[in-house]
Amino acid sequence: MKYPENVITAFKAQFGHPPTLVVRAPGRINLIGEHTDYNQGFVLPAAIDKAVYFAAAPLDAPRLDCLAENFGAFVRIQLTDIQPVAEGWPNFLLGVYDELQKAGFRPGGVQLVMGGDIPAGAGLSSSAAVESGMLHVLNHLYQLNIPTLELVKLAQRSENNFIGLQCGIMDMFASQMGREQCAIRLDCRSLAYEYVPFHAEAYRLVLCDTAVKHNLADSEYNTRRATCEESVRLLQPHFPDVQSLRDVTPEMLGMAQDLLPPLHYRRCKHIVTENARVLASCAALEQDDFVQFGALMFASHDSLQHDYEVSCPELDFLVAQARTNPAVAGARMMGGGFGGCTLNLVEKNSVEAFEKAQKAAYLKEFGVELHCFGVSLVEGVGVVRSEE
């Protein structure tokens, strides 16, 4: 049985009645613009056809009854005094309640079955999908009437405050605001956005999952963010208009070399050049110039590998392999880094051969089976079924 039917069936078995609401919350890819979101810069993400599904019904008690269909775990948690729980996974749901309560909303309890096909730890933002989906479930069930852009911000705050990852807004924005066959060019300072059609008829977007789980990622992620903020403080006496690394121009970057410690300079260089690559990518995609866009993907990887230093040997290896393949227009590591997937732009007719070659090379080098899969760009969070 496929999604969402299996979560609906599981709901009936668990609670003895059908759900009143079914919501789909997609994962995301990012075409380009990595680690720029929390520097108030530009990103180009998209929602993908891998999602978390929620079958839900209101509960006449302040309680969360939730079955995680993927691993068959059930929790029953009181919502009167919300505290993080040891199981880990329910915290993504509790964080949403916590932020809603802080914002003055009082949604009631829920019966929930949650399950999906976003591979965990692959850097496809399953956690942002869970937070985003849960917010839409509560918004709908309890008619909170919160506009989507506010739900995006609430999802980010619940990750920042309850989970403790100081992530930017990109993942939640993509999961909730995605559009079919489009990427989203998002200005993370103003939240102004524009849909960029992705008409890659001759190409397919293929993910290669290193299966390296980003253990280091959370602490390193917050460290990267802190170094960027420190760089801003170091630059401000010389450039008073710089409020974030977004404001550093290529000219300032030249001067920054003498003003910043070498590590700070490298981090800063990545952000400045990556923001420029996002804008250049949008221009290339508007012309359907996938060769140019592919070259920018490779350049983004180099910068993430050498300047921002968030890659890992497995990611570097897969990108280096892809580079030698004439059917690949571009490839790069994607997301926070230290593991997860590479994103590859591959000629459609050569996808099978590409996957085969990548799998064989990876097995030989690391002794690990590589999982490869194509993705399509889809609509953001949506109600699949509702009884009202």
Binder among 4, 95, 107, 336 for ligand GLA (CB under 6 A): 336
Q: Which pair of structure tokens corresponds to residue 93?
A: 């749901």
The distance of closest approach from Cβ of residue 159 to ligand GLA in the complex, given in angstroms and rounded to an integer, is: 7
What is the pattern of x (binds ligand GLA, CB under 6 A) and - over residues 276-315? ----------------------------------------
Binder among 21, 137, 151, 170 for ligand GLA (CB under 6 A): 170
CA torsion, points 272, 123, 136, 387, in degrees to nearest 10? 140
Interface with ligand GLA (CB under 6 A), residue total 11
Q: Which is nearer to ligand GLA, 66 or 183 (CB)?
A: 183
Secondary structure letter of residue 68 according to DSSP:
E
From the candidates 37, 65, 98, 171, give the one annotated as an active-site residue. 171
Rounded Cα–Cα distance for residues 160 and 154 (Å): 10
The distance of closest approach from Cβ of residue 123 to ligand GLA in the complex, given in angstroms and rounded to an integer, is: 7
Q: Which pair of structure tokens corresponds to residue 150?
A: 């506010």
Strand partners, 385: 22
C-beta of residue 63 within 8 angstroms of C-beta of residue 109: yes
**For the packed helices 290-306 and 313-323, what is the interaxial angle rounded to 10 degrees?**
150
Instruction: Note whether 167 binds ligand GLA by CB under 6 A.
Output: yes
Most distant CA pair in the chain, distance: 68
CA torsion, points 237, 238, 244, 250, in degrees to nearest 10? -170
The distance of closest approach from Cβ of residue 1 to ligand GLA in the complex, given in angstroms and rounded to an integer, is: 31
Restricted to residues 7-36, the positions that interact with ligand GLA (CB under 6 A) are 34-35
Strand partners, 208: 342, 372
The distance of closest approach from Cβ of residue 63 to ligand GLA in the complex, given in angstroms and rounded to an integer, is: 30
CA distances from 40 to 213, 254, 277 (A): 27, 20, 15
Q: Which is nearer to ligand GLA, 14 or 127 (CB)?
A: 127
Residues in the chain, overall count: 388
Instruction: Note whether 38 binds ligand GLA by CB under 6 A.
Output: yes
Binder among 41, 107, 121, 168 for ligand GLA (CB under 6 A): 168
Q: Which is nearer to ligand GLA, 14 or 303 (CB)?
A: 303
Instruction: Note whether 333 binds ligand GLA by CB under 6 A.
Output: no
Q: Which is nearer to ligand GLA, 56 or 177 (CB)?
A: 177
The distance of closest approach from Cβ of residue 383 to ligand GLA in the complex, given in angstroms and rounded to an integer, is: 25
Binder among 24, 37, 55, 278 for ligand GLA (CB under 6 A): 37
Q: Which is nearer to ligand GLA, 77 or 163 (CB)?
A: 163
DSSP notation for 318-387: HHHHHHT-TTEEEEEE-SS-SSSEEEEEEEGGGHHHHHHHHHHHHHHHHS-PPEEEEE-B---SEEEEE-
Active site residue 171: yes
Binding site for ligand GLA (CB under 6 A): 34-35, 37-38, 125, 167-168, 170-171, 335-336
Q: Write out the catalytic residue numbers.
A: 171
